A and B are shown apart, each in its own frame.
Chain A
Amino acid sequence: MQAGGRFLGSALLLLIVGGGVATSQSADLMMAVSGQDSLRVGEAAALIGIVGGSLPSQAEPATAVDELRRIGYVLPQKQPAAPITVGEFSFLIIQLLDLPAGMLYSIFPGPRYAVRELVARGVLAAGVHPGATLSGSEALRILGTLSRGGE
């Protein structure tokens, strides 16, 4: 599982290097995240913030949450070291990657319909629970799929 996660981390890193945003810090972050059983809020915020361009490539997990809140994004009311759920991760993706979303998400923006959006794009499997935690390798797989254009 961890070896697979590192592979995904490397694959995503290659995609991002192609876009010219990777630095040694962001590479370190992805490698660290790829081996984790539960992704943390700060790591998710830094990772998606870097991929989406809202944060500089040297952003740190400890400060990423506050930095994104300051810009105006809605983040989970949790400590940066707390595990993030699939729903919270999906909500961050829709916001920070500025993905167009459907009617129900527009009326009720939040984790529940963010998950439905990513399921509809084929990025998440149907039946996934918004309240479940996700591993670092799963998070990198999701971001990798989105980097390739979803579906």
Chain B
Amino acid sequence: MGRSRIVLRALVLLAFGLVTNLSAHGQTAWTFDGGGSVSSEVGPLPGWNTGRVYLVDRLDGNLNLRQKLEALTLDYNLSGFFRFTSEREITGDLSELSAKLNLRGFPGSRGLFRVSLGRIPLTEPSGLVLRQPGDGLSIGASVPAFKAELTAAYLGFLLKNTNNVLLSASDVTALNDPNVVLAPSRAVGLLALTFPELVLRTDLGLWGMYLLGMGGSLPAGRWYAGLSEQGPIWGPLSQRSDLVTGAELAAQLSLLARIVLRAEFPRVAASRAELELLYASGDTPSLSAFMPLTGDTAGVILATPLQNLFRLSLGYSAHPFTNKGFEWLQAIAPFISSRWYFRQSATPAAAVPYDPPGNYYGTELESGLAFRHGTDPEISVSGGFFADAAAAFHWFARASVVLNL
């Protein structure tokens, strides 16, 4: 059977969900897997000086049915979550409800062709701008020299609390309106190209994304484009850098840049050190404020989005008990990290009512222990402080437990 016929046939089967037809083939193999996780997280309530403890419990579940037919694999995925907080926020949604096709040997003998249809995870290569599910179609192909993926998805079928894309005042108004159930009506298109080990074993990624507002009160559109590269430097050293620009149509550009240097020493207590420099533009005469969509915050106490910010981070972790016999002892990893924050323009940080006299926000120091071993619960306990520009200390402690069932 020609490869193009296999692709066409697989696409038709995927689109119509004719699962049972495939079982007529002698070499079809069905397998099933399912699982979930229970997690609890306790820490400071996001916000400036709230002094309150915030508890988040989360249940995740997933089911996966896989069908193999020679070089073709079809996956049917269902996953979702419930999340409860001490502030009586209850959210839950489908994270994924999709059919995925993987065809090995197309294009070319070492190629891989992929199609995903349904509710699928959406992320761009940097992971700094968009990270949430959407309903749509993704088509990708990879050969040894490059990988390409084209995705189109609609965000308006998500429940409003699952949606991270909050770009306008009307988005925030809708989020707080009890009569509104679904996310604002938006569509996203994403094209990502990756060139593995292009030069000196360094991977290069290029991507572009367009976010289209489909409701009358929504901004018409917003685009992002990015460049990512990562690879080894020498011996234990490796690096990664990301450059992202984005703007509303006919508006001033915004910019986010990140450089990460890593050093890994597997034979020195399996230790690892990391230095990160992150810049996210604020409103200045030459640039507009960067607008990330992931919901990630800059720090624990300084819980502001990656916007109008320069952050220098240093981190170190190790497994000091690697030769102490008990394997569970080897899984204990102490860590320490420090983050220094500066703003780019005089505009106060979003979501944090803290307005320092200059551009220096303060320094955060955190230290703790992480434990991750086989099917044991994953545990992390840490504590630290944020010393603001006036040298006032804001202490915090946080802990998390995750049990993967």
Contact = CB atoms under 8 A, between A and B. Distances in A.
Nearest to A121: B374
Given A100-B328, A103-B375, A129-B64, A116 B404 contact: yes
Interface stretch (A2-10, A45-53, A55-63, A130-138): A130-138
A10 B373 CA distance: 31
A78 B1 CA distance: 35
A117 interface: yes
Given A100-B327, A104-B405, A116-B404, A131 B31 contact: yes
Contacts of B29: 132-133
B87 interface: no
Given A102-B373, A113-B375, 15 more contacts: A100-B327, A102-B374, A103-B375, A103-B376, A104-B376, A105-B374, A105-B375, A116-B374, A120-B372, A127-B64, A129-B32, A129-B64, A130-B33, A131-B33, A132-B29
Interface in B1-58: 29, 31-33
A101 interface: yes
B405 A132 contact: no
Nearest to B330: A100
Nearest to A104: B375
Contacts of B398: none
Interface of B: 29, 31-33, 64, 66, 68, 327-328, 372-377, 403-405
Interface of A: 100-105, 113, 116-117, 120-121, 127, 129-133
Contacts of A133: 29
Contacts, number: 47
A104 B374 CA distance: 9
B327 to A, nearest CB: 4
B29 to A, nearest CB: 7
A103 B32 contact: no
A117 B64 contact: no
Contacts of A104: 375-376, 403-405
A120 B32 CA distance: 20
A105 B403 CA distance: 12
B32 A131 contact: yes
Contacts of A101: 374-375
Contacts of B372: 120
The 10 A-B residue pairs with the shortest CB-CB distance in the complex, in nearest-first order: A102-B374, A102-B375, A104-B375, A102-B376, A131-B31, A129-B31, A100-B327, A129-B33, A103-B376, A117-B374
A120 B64 contact: no
A117 to B, nearest CB: 5
A120 B373 CA distance: 7
A103 B331 CA distance: 13
Contacts of A131: 31-33
15 contacts: A100-B327, A100-B374, A101-B374, A102-B375, A103-B376, A103-B377, A104-B403, A105-B374, A113-B375, A127-B64, A129-B64, A129-B66, A130-B33, A131-B32, A132-B68
B375 A117 contact: yes
Nearest to A116: B375
Nearest to A130: B33
Given A103-B376, A105-B375, A132 B404 contact: no
